[in-house]
Amino acid sequence: MVDLVKTHILDVPNNTHPKWYKDKGLRKNVYHCMGLCLCVFYLGYDQSLLACLQSIPQWDEYFDNPTGMTLGLISSALYFPGIPAAFVGSWISMKYGRKPALWVGSVLIIIGAIVNALSKNQAEFAGGRVLLGAGGAITKVVAPALLQEIAHPRLRPVLASSYYGWFFLGAIVSGYLCLAGLFIPGSWSWRLACIAQIIAPIGVLIISLSMPESPRFLANKGKVDEALGILAKYHANGKLDDPLVQLEYNEMVLALEAEGGEHKSSYMDFIRYKGNRRRLVMSLVMASGTNWNGSGLVGYYLTPILESIGITDPIQTINLNNGMNIWNLVVSEVAALYVEAVSRRTIFFISGWGMVVTMALVGGFSAGYQEHGNVALGIASIPMLFLYYGLYDIAWMSIPFHYCTEIQPFHLRTKGLALFVAMQTGSNAFNQFVNPIAFEAITWKYYFVYVAINLAYMAYFYFYLIDSRNMSLEEITLLFDYPRKEARERATEEMESRVRAGLLRRGSTSAAVDALYRGDSISASVTSLHRDRSVSIHNPSSNEKL
């Protein structure tokens, strides 16, 4: 049996400065990843926009005061197109590349925003939102995948965790533009906020011009030299024989060979294999949890409570919402900075149990306000909202997209994200329909339904969530092929065994492979011999049918 060298990929020497902002290659890498974070900007912008537009009298008047079903159709026009569009985005990204899919989605968002801004009736406004929803779903599928596939291993966890927090940046910008609209006469009071929605996707297009294609996509298409060049340029300032780049490259190529290539993959692979079924269920649970943990419900009584204490001015209401969004942005991004400090399991348990307690308190305070007219209890629920959302942000804003991207093997990554986005979109649409009906029927008691749902999520995560911190992307893709308690150790050993077997079979010496894992100078045999992709590795653990 081979005695594995236990040096981890994150400990291997690397031709970069320890501080990313002092390193030319890492600065470019972070710049490109932040550009990808702009892809979720549209969703936060839009959700804040539609809520704020209803506070602008000119918008209400121009569109004949939409309410009830009409307003619901305008709102849902963003979500339903996103379900089929997510699968289109996955197909484009695997056939033509991550960047072309990014371009298609961004252009659709731009067109949708322009249609919204120039709308003359309700149908045109809803049509613009259809384009926004379709384009946004495509970018939400491809951006997290491309981000994790180009990010430096040392920076990947933080950058991936910060991705969804940019939702709140969009909400903040939208909120203040709508606030400015209150002081603008005529239809430009709302058209300005609508047309400004093109800023983020234009930014994505501009940044993508200098952004590299995914090295994993290129290697999967046989362009291994180009893939190695990209890794060297952005992860080691152009040094091809950098120890980290070589180890990262070897893990990537050997993992792709073990998976068998994109031409052999389909959505049925999520059903055929035990490990993939576990990945699928985890992704769907996390996708639904972003909406079904009560985040869209907890502030239901906020408006009547504010009205009861005399806060009815639209300016004050918008400022309060903006304050909430600023709080959410700060908490989610700070949480992303420290995502590797504690395990994913610990983060979810702190968040989940905290949300259960604060949700119960909000329910109790709301009961006192509704049943007995106790304004003091109603006011007491407001700080609880900030605490609840802070607890929500540390896990549910930073982890789901990050985790559900990294646990999928390359050939299923965007397919898994398509299913994630479809589930997230569908659960959001379900909430839009069910929550008002349920709240009208059982009022504040509905909060405790979500207390029970959160407890169910905690139980599932306790038994099935596997920690992925301090691991390489290729190692993480193996986690769900093994039992939870031994998954981390076995995944790390399996990846090192693959790299060793592949290099030794192609002519490298044991000493050269040991040097690779120790981070010593890389021999020519290790650097060149693994570029022949004609040999396929069979990995029983990842392809085991149940």
Residue 221 located in a structural domain: no
Domain for residue 218, yes or no? no
Of 212, 228, 250, the one marking the end of a domain is: 212
State whether 204 and 345 are in the same domain. no
Q: Are residues 372 and 514 in the same domain?
A: no
Q: What is the pLDDT of residue 303?
A: 65
- The answer to whether residues 288 and 311 belong to one domain is yes
Asked whether residue 222 is assigned to any structural domain, the reply reads no
- In the structure, what pLDDT confidence band is assigned to residue 213 with cuts at 50, 70 and 90? very high
Tell me if 522 is assigned to some domain: yes
Q: Quick one: how far is CA 68 from the chain centroid?
A: 31
Identify whether residues 379 and 366 lie together within a single domain: yes
**Is 230 contained in some domain?**
no
Say yes or no: 41 and 189 in one domain: yes
Read off the pLDDT band of 535 (50, 70, 90): very low
What is d(CA 393, CA 148) in angstroms, rounded to the nearest whole number?
20
Please indicate, yes or no, if residue 228 is contained in any of the structural domains. Answer: no
Residue 1 clears pLDDT 70, i.e. is over it: no
The pLDDT score that the predictor gives to residue 301 is 58
Q: Which of 76-85, 329-338, 449-458 has the lowest mean pLDDT?
A: 76-85
Place of tokens 């912008």: 45
| Statement: residue 437 has pLDDT above 90 | no
Mean pLDDT for the chain overall: 87
Distance CA(252)–CA(148), nearest Å, equals 13
419 versus 493: the higher-pLDDT residue is 419
pLDDT of residue 228: 96
The stretch 290-312 carries a mean pLDDT of 71
Q: Tell me the helices (H) and strands (E) count for the chain, helix number first.
A: 28, 0
pLDDT tens digits, one per residue of 517-529: 666 655 434 444 3
Q: Return the DSSP state at 9.
A: G
Per the structure block, which two tokens stand in for 409? 């093997």
Considering the domain architecture, whether residues 32 and 110 belong to the same structural domain is answered as yes
Q: Is the pLDDT of residue 480 over 50?
A: yes
Q: Do residue 425 and residue 532 come from a single domain?
A: no
Q: Residue 109: is its pLDDT beyond 90? A: yes
Could you give the 3-state DSSP secondary structure of residue 383? helix
Residue 510: in which H helix or E strand, if any?
Answer: helix 510-518
Same-domain pairing of 93 and 172: yes
Same domain, 157 and 302: no
pLDDT of residue 299: 62
Give residue 80's pLDDT. Answer: 87
| Distance of alpha carbon 408 from alpha carbon 415, whole angstroms | 9
Provide φ and ψ at 273, rounded to 5°: -115, 140
Lowest mean pLDDT among 244-248, 302-306, 331-335, 437-441: 302-306
Q: What's the domain count of the chain?
A: 3
The pTM for the full model equals 0.90
Under the banding of pLDDT at 50, 70 and 90, the label for residue 536 is: very low
According to DSSP, residue 273 is labeled: B
Average pLDDT of the segment spanning 213-221: 95
Give the model's pLDDT for residue 395.
96
Least confident range from 83-92, 255-264, 301-310: namely 301-310
**Residues 246, 272 within the same domain:** no
Q: Domain check: are 106 and 150 in the same one?
A: yes
Query: SS3 of 373, please?
Result: coil
Cα(157)–Cα(151) distance, integer angstroms: 9
Domain that holds residue 104: 17-212
Question: At which of 468, 490, 519 does a domain end?
Answer: 468
Q: Decide if pLDDT at 245 tops 90.
A: yes
Is the CB of residue 502 less than 8 Å from the CB of residue 254? yes
The residue-averaged pLDDT of 434-446 equals 82
d(CA 390, CA 311): 24
State whether 458 and 498 are in the same domain. no
Does the residue 208 lie in any domain? yes
Q: Which is more confidently placed, 304 or 444?
A: 444
Q: What angle do CA 453, 459, 462 make, to 5 degrees?
A: 145
- What mean pLDDT comes out for the span 223-249? 94
**Mean per-residue pLDDT, 532-544:** 39
Query: ∠ CA(46), CA(145), CA(141), 5° rounding?
Result: 40
Whether the predicted pLDDT of 396 surpasses 90: yes
Does residue 436 register a pLDDT over 80? no
pLDDT at residue 419, rounded to an integer: 97
Q: What angle do CA 266, 270, 273 make, to 5 degrees?
A: 110
Q: What is residue 532's predicted lDDT score, i.e. its pLDDT?
A: 46
| Rounded Cα gap, residues 317 and 305, in angstroms | 11
pLDDT of residue 116: 94
Q: Which residues contact 221 (CB under 8 A, 6 or more apart)?
A: none
Instruction: Return the percentage of the chain with pLDDT > 90, whole number.
Output: 59
Among the listed residues 468, 474, 395, the one whose alpha carbon sits nearest the alpha carbon of residue 149: 474
Provide the CATH number for the domain around residue 190. Answer: 1.20.1250.20
Average pLDDT estimate for 393-402? 96
**Of 449, 468, 487, which residue is a domain's last?**
468
* Residue 5 scores a pLDDT above 90: no
Question: Residue 144: its pLDDT value, please?
Answer: 97
Residue 234 lies in a domain: no
